[in-house]
Chains A and B, each alone.
Chain A
Amino acid sequence: MAEERTTLISRAEWRKPWVRIGVGGTQALLLVGLVVIGLGPILWLAKAAITPTNDTITHPMGFFEHGTAWSNLREAWVNVDVGRYFWNTIEIAIGSWFTQIVVATTGGYALSVLRPKYARFLTGLLLTTLFVPAVVLLVPLYIEVVRPPLIHHSFIDSYWAIWLPAGASAFNVVIVKRFFDNLPREIFEAARIDGAGPFRLFTKIVLPLSKPILGVVSVFAVLASWKDFLWPLLVLTDPNKQPLSVRLPTIQSQTELGVFLAAMFIACLVPIAGFLIFQRSFLRGSGLGGAIKG
């Protein structure tokens, strides 16, 4: 991490003892704070997930005073049906991811590369939705799912009610469009001269070049779906179809604490593992979020 760029604290300043101790000490404190505050609750959850319920209730900060209870995890997965809800969550996440990728890539491609005359107008319409608070959509979307126009068939308890609206993320389209905007135009021209039509240009050139941005959109699509609560709560009334996030409050009221905490721990596993594997995409995307919002 030896950078030549001068930042807030210059090299000369780092050599001064009071800077070294003052700033270094604060940074060390910050690291300890981050471990305790950021990681602590999650570590506690991991510990409690395999601790007998009684121990967690009487000595929440104890450390396996009466041994472990791995049975919590098994009981949660099998008896409380967390296994089923887990797969429901994955099914919902995959479908939501798919619509988001399709809408963002095709829409971004059309607006950025093909650029019809009305592209500016459409981009404007997209950007306005960024400024509409999500709550405005809640009730009409719900009514639309219960009583869709033209189709006389309720989509309550169908995953389509989650998969399709998930695609309407203007943020996705905008970041993908911006990425396409920055691809070198000469490549497109060269491909066109070689006789590639808009479809070949899309599949053979644009998509392969956009892996980084597709990675960012993908991790956020899956994470957002995994985190979602209110919408699936409204449109999925059949417990057998609900994702983990919707089931957890009910599990809490019906199960002993140890098993419930084990279920919560299972619900965290995929996001945490995904974050550790795709950290770069996550942090990059978060920075991007700031750049676009700014």
Chain B
Amino acid sequence: MNAVSEIEVEGVALGKDYRRARRTPRTWARSGGFSTLLFLLPMLFIFGAFSWYPIVRTVVMSLQHTNLVQPATWVGFANFSKVLHDPLLPIAVKNTGYFALLALIFGYPIPLISAVLMSEVRHARGWYSALAYLPVVIPPVVAVLLWKTFYDGGSVGVFNTIFGWVHLGPYPWLQSQRTAMPSLVLESTWANAGGTVIIYLAALTGVNSELYEAAAVDGAGVFRKVWHVTLPQLRGVLLVTMILQIIGTAQVFLEPYLFTSGGPANSTLTVLLLIFDYAFGNSLGGDYGSATALSLMLAVFLAIFSLVYLRATRSWSD
């Protein structure tokens, strides 16, 4: 009440817009406030119920012990300490980091090089982008299970047959602790690189053509133009795709789940697989507290990492 009358007084005193001072529920409804709310209703309901509410619930649940039979009890930070003492956690963190690193090594330069080459294609450019994007539309389950067939460790597996033509292999692919993770990353790169290529292609059309002209006047060759014009012009997009890729690969689930179930000997156990195992791996009832605690820690870590990353690269990105 106080606040409302204050605004009114202020409005009159300063001779501000008269209508603003006299906002009542009736004027609100008459000026379309009600129909606006009606339009917002689907969004408010869906986001409220399936996005904002669960986000808050994660924080609450990480401090509780929840099983679906009895009411939840508060346990403080017990879930966090339980997760942090899990001997599997360091393994999962290390593997996830390894996956993210390999994915950057395999998957970061290739789309960039492809996109730069593709942007200079004079004929049938549509074919290039269509072919590059095609793996992205394949359902990930199909992609993983198809590659699982390719990775057959026997001498008549698809990849081993192809390598056999040049007298290499047979390789164990998914069955060895050493090669399992790179095999997962290879498939993941195949499945995702196309999306990044399209982002770079869109960004490349935005490069100011005068810069190329100026570079040409200065006598710069193709490679120098790539180095001194194209890459600096793309740096904003490059920085964003890198952090997005890191955030994405930190949450890798499908590949280790379907390819190896975390094996052999936990060599592909990732953080998300651990979260899944906490919550749904045990048929007797999930440890939802530990699962939400770990997912919260992952989210907070990624948020801090992104902030530090953006800070560190700010001077460089614009």
A residues lining the B interface (CB < 8 Å):
1-2, 5-10, 12-14, 19, 23, 26-27, 30-31, 34-35, 37-39, 41-42, 44-45, 57-61, 99, 102-103, 106-107, 109-111, 114, 116, 122, 125-126, 129, 131-144, 146-147, 164-165, 167-168, 170, 173, 197-199, 202, 223, 226-227, 229-230, 234, 244-246, 248-249, 252, 257, 261, 264, 267-268, 271-272, 274-276, 279, 282-283, 286-291, 293-294
Contact = CB atoms under 8 A, between A and B. Distances in A.
Interface string B49-70: 1111111011001000010100
Nearest to A271: B137
B117 interface: yes
Interface in B273-318: 275-276, 279-280, 286, 288, 291-292, 295-296, 298-299, 302-303, 306
Task: Decide if the interface of chain B is mainly helix, strand, loop or mixed.
Answer: helix
A198 B296 contact: no
Interface residues of B, number: 110
Given A39-B134, A135-B275, 18 more contacts: A6-B210, A8-B116, A9-B225, A27-B118, A27-B121, A38-B194, A59-B161, A114-B35, A126-B47, A132-B299, A137-B58, A139-B288, A140-B54, A168-B50, A268-B139, A275-B137, A287-B199, A291-B202
Nearest to B154: A57
Nearest to B187: A41
Ranked 7 nearest A-B pairs via Cβ:
A290-B199, A287-B202, A107-B43, A140-B57, A140-B54, A286-B198, A110-B39
A261 B139 contact: no
Contact of A275 (B46, B118, B134, B203): B134
B173 to A, nearest CB: 14
5 contacts: A26-B117, A106-B43, A135-B253, A167-B50, A288-B202
Given A6-B212, A31-B127, A290-B241, A272 B134 contact: yes
B195 interface: yes
A31 B213 CA distance: 28
B137 to A, nearest CB: 4
Contacts of B254: 229-230
B145 A248 contact: yes
Contacts, number: 302
B240 interface: yes
Given A275-B137, A290-B199, A27 B117 contact: yes
Contact of A286 (B133, B209, B276): B133
B129 interface: yes
A141 B180 CA distance: 32
A131 B222 CA distance: 38
B292 A139 contact: yes
Given A110-B36, A197-B35, A272-B137, A135 B272 contact: yes
Contacts of B139: 226-227, 229, 244-245, 267-268, 271
A133 B40 CA distance: 24
A143 B68 contact: yes
Nearest to B122: A1
B142 A248 contact: yes
Give the residue among A134, A135, A143 with the most B Cβ atoms within 10 A: A135
A122 B122 CA distance: 45
B74 interface: no
B302 to A, nearest CB: 6
Interface string B155-195: 01110011000000000000000000000000000100011
A6 B212 CA distance: 7
Contacts of A39: 131, 134
B244 A268 contact: no
Contacts of A12: 216
B122 A268 contact: no
B134 A103 contact: no
